Amino acid sequence: MFEYRWKNNEANFGLPLPRQVKGGTHVTFEILLKRKNKYIALRRPKGIPEHELPPHAADHPEGLLYFCHNLIRYGESVEKCIKRIVKAQAGVNVRKWRVVAIDSVLQEKDGQWAIIPHVIAEVDRIPEKSGKITEIVFFSKNKIPGSFAWWTRKELEEFLRKYE
Map 122-159 to HEC letters.
Answer: EECCCCCCCCCCCEEEEEECCECCCCECCCCHHHHHHH
User: In this predicted structure, what is the pLDDT of residue 45?
Assistant: 96
Q: What is the DSSP letter of 85?
A: H
User: In this predicted structure, what is the pLDDT of residue 46?
Assistant: 95
User: In this predicted structure, what is the pLDDT of residue 114?
Assistant: 96
Phi-psi region of 82 (alpha: psi -120 to 50; beta: other; left: phi over 0): alpha
CB of 65 closer than 8 Å to CB of 77: no
Q: How many other C-beta atoms can be found within 10 angstroms of the C-beta atom of residue 38?
A: 13
Q: Which residues are CB-contacts of 6 (< 8 A; sequence separation ≥ 6)? A: 12
| Ranges in the chain, pLDDT < 50 | none
CB of 116 closer than 8 Å to CB of 107: no
Of 117, 135, 51, 143, the residue nearest 156 (C-alpha): 143
3-state secondary structure of 162: helix
Total-model pTM: 0.94
> What is the Cα–Cα distance from 31 to 68, expressed in whole angstroms?
5
CB of 123 closer than 8 Å to CB of 107: no
Q: Which fold has domain 28-163?
A: Nucleoside Triphosphate Pyrophosphohydrolase (3.90.79)
User: In this predicted structure, what is the pLDDT of residue 155?
Assistant: 97
Q: How many other C-beta atoms can be found within 10 angstroms of the C-beta atom of residue 81?
A: 20
User: In this predicted structure, what is the pLDDT of residue 12?
Assistant: 81
